[in-house]
Structure 1
């Protein structure tokens, strides 16, 4: 199904607030801006995949689908009182679903939104 509407940041001013006042962390493929919202019932997320990542809408939409699926799989583990933005970098265009999940988990650990042990899960391990 994806990420429900109540879990999304869609308004420009809300997006900008997280962007301007939130803390950021990054790895090669994703940047995460996050800001605390003590009054929130659950987290909210905004996803941005710009044309620099891929000129074709099909590719940008695929990246967003991978990100939403990863969020769905991590739903119970992410903190509730947070708004965050996930911004894809150019390298995200070359990732498959497993690579996207691995990179997002790494970025969430860097942001302090997931415990360090999340990096050790079987979905994150590489067998290449």
Structure 2
């Protein structure tokens, strides 16, 4: 993830939690808040200690960031996003996780179709 696409400070997380909307499935919760002054989206990832030790949590975090990075062209700009992993995410493979994350984005109406993405012909 590029630095400009990271949600870093606690106050940013709090604003999204307090004033944003959410969408969820069994594995993930997506909080999102429109930020029209931003050109691109910013992403924060939260993985609880309940999901496992540091190795497990960091693996989930890395996979989530990679999924979002590879699908960034399908995610509209101007949003602050927070993905929270739930317990079932710890046992998921990469492809299952990708399908589930894209499903949550679709539920939140934050996923552009492939033919609408810039650069795809």
TM-score (ref. length: structure 1): 0.86
Q: Greater helix share, 1 or 2?
A: 2
The size of the alignment, in residue pairs, is 114
Match of 2:27 among 26, 29, 38: 29
Work out the CA distance in 2 between the residues paired with 1:10 and 1:100: 23
Return 5+ residue gaps in structure 1 as ranges.
119-128
Work out the CA distance in 1 between the residues paired with 2:51 and 2:109: 26
Q: Give the 4+ runs in structure 1 shifted more than 3 A.
A: none
Work out the CA distance in 1 between the residues paired with 2:43 and 2:26: 20
Please report how far the alpha carbon of residue 53 of structure 1 lies from its aligned counterpart in structure 2 after TM superposition: 1.6
Please report how far the alpha carbon of residue 5 of structure 1 lies from its aligned counterpart in structure 2 after TM superposition: 1.3
What is the Cα-based RMSD across aligned positions, in Å?
1.1
1:101 maps to 2:98: yes
SS in 2 for 1:13: helix
Please report how far the alpha carbon of residue 67 of structure 1 lies from its aligned counterpart in structure 2 after TM superposition: 0.3
Work out the CA distance in 2 between the residues paired with 1:113 and 1:8: 17
Residue 19 (structure 1) aligns with: 17
**Deviation digits for residues 10-37 of structure 1 (CA, Å, limit 9, x no counterpart):** 1000010001110001000000000000
TM-score (ref. length: structure 2): 0.91
